[in-house]
């Protein structure tokens, strides 16, 4: 079996480390290099595993890779994905796919024209509770979906996430996309109108919103609402949550996607912690990406999937300016 040669562009997003280790453990996969303008972020990986380091991502792409994983700042996703596509590499891109509709259109078009695949990083699709809920709904256990209430409440990541020129927005953008993708995927419907509220409530002076509620109406007639806040402060025992209460015409399902956890108490931590022990969603995600490339099949979470979820958040910001519900951008 010919090995698949992977490059990683930027470790600005912390999830890159999980993807790196998942790829490293996969048979038939070779991590050919890491590109990051901040060498200190990746020095330990390069030293420990002997992975070549490049300050300039163009040098990495010049290796003629099969695929790349992009975990750069949100505003740089389009630049990196378009360059990767131009080199003939398939692309796995961290969410949100882009920070403007035009960026995402350009990414999708570049990959299509170059004959490479673009997959959006939505690992929550691989959480056991989410997949079981999807299975039950697909077989009609709760009838037709009429409403979904979701949460993605986390801790403020700080750093470039609170610099809008790099992040594209605050918690409303950062935390809408995961649950909105799940809502699209589970219902098979698409959001068509959006009403949102967001503000800086938990850490005054942050520069971006850290609290938000986004309401959507789907083309099926169902409605959805998501709490998209960075409301989990330092004493909270884990980084956050992903939940959904899904109501149908014949019943309802409650999903607590990260409920598979142990409570851990230690003197060194100084407080109780929740230690998640469930399936490794990041490993399942990158494995699905690699398998699709190897088999020449469509990736399971497309660039269009990423675009649809991000457009809901971006429409949310425009809804705030308008003070009312508005149609989804581009619809």
* pLDDT tens sequence across 180-219: 999 999 999 999 999 999 999 999 899 999 999 999 999 9
Q: Are residues 104 and 130 in the same domain?
A: no
Q: Are residues 197 and 323 in the same domain?
A: yes
| Integer Cα distance of 201 and 183 in angstroms | 26
pLDDT band at 331 (very low <50, low <70, confident <90, very high): low
pLDDT (tens digit, 9 = 90+) per residue, 19-51? 999 999 999 999 999 999 999 999 999 999 999
Closest Cα partner for 42 from 73, 9, 75? 9
**The pLDDT value given to residue 277:** 67
**The pLDDT value given to residue 26:** 95
Q: Is residue 292 part of a domain?
A: no
**The pLDDT value given to residue 24:** 96
- End position of a domain, from candidates 89, 116, 143: 116
Residue the block writes with tokens 């990541």: 157
pLDDT band at 2 (very low <50, low <70, confident <90, very high): confident
Q: Is the pLDDT of residue 102 over 70?
A: yes
Domain, as residue range, for 200: 124-279+310-327
Q: Are residues 144 and 112 in the same domain?
A: no
Rounded to the nearest integer, the mean pLDDT of the chain is: 94
Q: Are residues 152 and 106 in the same domain?
A: no
- The number of domains in the chain is 2
pLDDT (tens digit, 9 = 90+) per residue, 109-152? 999 999 999 999 999 999 999 999 999 999 999 999 999 999 99
Q: Are residues 66 and 132 in the same domain?
A: no
* CB-CB contact of 51 with 29 (8 Å): no
CATH number at residue 76: 3.40.50.720
**The pLDDT value given to residue 141:** 95
Q: Return the number of other C-beta atoms located less than 10 Å from residue 165's C-beta.
A: 9
Q: Are residues 111 and 132 in the same domain?
A: no
Token code pair at residue 279: 């399936």
Q: Are residues 205 and 318 in the same domain?
A: yes
**The pLDDT value given to residue 285:** 97
**The pLDDT value given to residue 274:** 72
Q: Are residues 74 and 215 in the same domain?
A: no
């Amino acid at each position: 079996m010919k090995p698949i040669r992977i490059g990683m562009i930027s470790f600005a997003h912390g999830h890159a480390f999980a993807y790196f280790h998942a790829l490293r453990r996969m048979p038939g996969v070779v991590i050919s290099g890491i590109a990051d303008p901040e060498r200190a972020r990746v020095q330990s990986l390069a030293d420990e595993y002997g992975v070549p380091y490049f300050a300039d991502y163009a040098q990495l792409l010049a290796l003629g890779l099969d695929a790349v994983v992009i975990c750069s700042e949100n505003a740089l996703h389009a630049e990196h994905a378009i360059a990767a596509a131009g080199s003939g590499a398939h692309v796995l891109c961290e969410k949100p796919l882009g920070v403007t509709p035009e960026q995402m259109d350009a990414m999708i078009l570049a990959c299509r024209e170059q004959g490479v695949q673009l997959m959006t990083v939505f690992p929550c699709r691989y959480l056991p509770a989410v997949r079981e809920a999807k299975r039950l709904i697909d077989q009609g256990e709760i009838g037709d979906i009429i409403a979904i209430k979701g949460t993605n409440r986390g801790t403020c990541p700080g750093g470039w996430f609170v610099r809008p020129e790099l992040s594209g927005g605050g918690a409303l953008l950062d935390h809408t996309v995961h649950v909105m993708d799940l809502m699209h995927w589970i219902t098979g419907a698409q959001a068509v109108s959006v009403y949102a509220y967001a503000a800086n409530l938990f850490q005054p002076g942050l520069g971006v919103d850290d609290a938000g509620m986004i309401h959507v109406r789907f083309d099926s007639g169902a409605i959805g609402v998501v709490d998209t806040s960075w409301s989990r402060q330092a004493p909270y025992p884990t980084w956050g949550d992903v939940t959904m209460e899904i109501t149908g015409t014949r019943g309802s399902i409650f999903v607590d996607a990260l409920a598979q956890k142990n409570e851990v108490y230690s003197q060194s931590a100084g407080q109780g912690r929740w230690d998640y022990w469930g399936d490794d969603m990041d490993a399942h995600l990158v494995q699905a990406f690699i398998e699709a490339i190897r088999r020449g099949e469509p990736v399971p979470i497309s660039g269009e999937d990423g675009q649809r979820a991000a457009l809901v958040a971006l429409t949310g910001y425009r809804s705030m300016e308008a003070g009312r519900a508005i149609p989804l951008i581009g619809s």
